[in-house]
Amino acid sequence: MPAKADDFLHPHPKAVPRRQGSTPPNPHSPLADQAWGALTPPGAAEFDWEGIVPRIVNPTKVAIIEQLRQRKPLSASRMKRLIRDPEDVTLARLIYHCDTLEKAGVLEIAPAPPSAAANERFYCLAPQE
């Protein structure tokens, strides 16, 4: 039997009852309506992508990509030395962003050069389609 668009609104048969005093779920979401149609419905104002993208794009991820465009491959510790504001970016944060960019298909693991430490992971830009 094919699923209907509003099947996700019904509770699962084995759902645990809500605690008394908790907020009941919203039975209808305007975002659900948009998910089944176009991103910008006919007659609606255009979305201002140029205004919002600079506010949501992570500057550390942009710095990683820019470093890898100029030099490849690089480890997170080597990237940290090359980034302009190294005190604002910790090594742990760089590794986190490299891993998320790898999972997103933007970066890939590169072979380590012979001079690298045994536990250093090197990244390069993944081929873009």
Instruction: Give tens-digit pLDDT for 94-113.
Output: 999 999 999 989 999 999 88
Q: Is residue 107 part of a domain?
A: yes
When divided into structural domains, the chain yields a total of 1
* Residue 11 pLDDT greater than 70, yes or no: no
Confidence at residue 10, expressed as pLDDT on a 0 to 100 scale: 54
CATH code (residue 96): 1.10.10.10
**C-alpha span between 67 and 71 (Å, rounded):** 6
Confidence at residue 96, expressed as pLDDT on a 0 to 100 scale: 92
Q: Is residue 76 part of a domain?
A: yes
Domain that holds residue 70: 58-125
Question: In what order do the strands lie in the sheet containing 74-75?
Answer: 74-75, 122-125, 107-110
Percent of the chain with pLDDT over 70: 63
21 or 55: which carries more pLDDT confidence?
55
